[in-house]
Amino acid sequence: MTTIRDIQSIIESLTPEQIKAVMETTTNNVMKVDTRHRAKRIAKTELYFSVAPLPYKSTYEEYKDHSDSIREQVISGVDL
């Protein structure tokens, strides 16, 4: 098991060139998250709610038929 004193002694034994080499190491581990799937889901939801009928302004049957057709259209990817 390495102790703090061991680590300190290792650091003290490093030459300036070695310290410079350790400090210059760069890692370009930039993590990019692919959000296309999430953006597509959000677009579908926004499309659906932008044209969805309001249940209090129509009969239940009209609302059900219209919302089902819109839901099918949105799922199929129309207008995206």
Kindly tell me if the per-residue pLDDT of 51 is higher than 70: yes
Residues 6+ apart with CB under 8 A from 14: 22
Average pLDDT rounded to a whole number, residues 12-38: 82
3-class DSSP assignment, residue 40: helix
Share of the chain above pLDDT 70, in %: 89
Evaluate whether 70 touches 51 at the Cβ level (below 8 Å): yes
Query: Whole-prediction pTM value?
Result: 0.43
**The pLDDT value given to residue 35:** 92
